Amino acid sequence: MPGLETGTLHGKLGIHAGNTGTLAFTDLRVPVANRVGEEGEGFLVAMSAIDQGRYTVAAGAVGLAQACLDASVKYAHERETFGQEIGRHQLVAQMLAKMESGIQAGRLLVWKAGWLKNHGARTTRETSLAKWFATEHAVQCALDAIQVHGANGYSNEFPVERYLRNSKAAVIYEGTSQLHQLIQADYLMGYRADRPIRCEPLPAEGFDRLPPGSHR
């Protein structure tokens, strides 16, 4: 398409399995038939799409945190110091327990947003909270997983160094953690509210729409 240039970013810290690209538009004319939504609605359409993207990022972060915990529990059974499994040392046990608490909390936030989506509710606020919390926790879990693994965790012989590199990306894309904190505070303060949109999300098959305001 004339005026469209695409590129691939190289040298990323993680997410090597995914292609992260660039789009450059120079006097690009998009046919009306290719336009999504009505004229002037582009930003709203993009933001509604990001409510879905952020949800998958949140769910993925819970999975990544779980992988950190699974690897750490396994290693904490295998590795012995001072005559016992390192999982018996209280400061190692504390890292495992903290991982678990945030994983359970993050999963509930994701499930809440998912439940609301199924009922056709707008979930910008809930999805943002789940994404912020779960991605930050995944980074902390990855850091602690490396700590549990000691020097082995710092090498690519074990998966946890990859978990850390991948976890860091998700606190940047789909809205940085700073952006999500601003969103949450703005909702709390009443500086931000969901404006009416032309097409409200549809409930999933077999689910009813919730009465307005009933879930908060």
Ligand X SMILES: Cc1cc2nc3c(=O)[nH]c(=O)nc-3n(C[C@H](O)[C@H](O)[C@H](O)COP(=O)(O)OP(=O)(O)OC[C@H]3O[C@@H](n4cnc5c(N)ncnc54)[C@H](O)[C@@H]3O)c2cc1C
- What are the catalytic residues? 174
Select 44 or 182, whichever has its Cβ closest to ligand X. Answer: 182
Q: Counting contacts by CB under 6 A, is residue 15 touching ligand X?
A: yes
Q: Is the dihedral of CA 60, 64, 65, 66 positive or negative?
A: positive
Stretch that binds ligand X, among 56-64, 82-90, 151-159, 167-175 (CB under 6 A): 167-175
In the complex, minimum distance from the CB of residue 170 to ligand X, in angstroms, rounded to a whole number = 8
Q: Counting contacts by CB under 6 A, is residue 115 touching ligand X?
A: no
Which residue intervals of the chain are DSSP H helices?
Answer: 42-78, 90-118, 124-149, 160-170, 177-189
Check if the beta carbon of residue 122 is closer than 8 Å to that of residue 203. Answer: no
Check if the beta carbon of residue 135 is closer than 8 Å to that of residue 171. Answer: yes
Select 94 or 176, whichever has its Cβ closest to ligand X. Answer: 176
Select 186 or 200, whichever has its Cβ closest to ligand X. Answer: 186
Q: Which residues, 50 to 69, sit near ligand X by CB under 6 A?
A: none
Check if the beta carbon of residue 68 is closer than 8 Å to that of residue 159. Answer: no
Q: Counting contacts by CB under 6 A, is residue 176 touching ligand X?
A: yes
CA distance linking residue 36 with residue 46, whole number of Å: 10
Give the footprint of ligand X on this chain (CB under 6 A). Answer: 12, 15, 20, 169, 172-173, 176, 178-179, 182
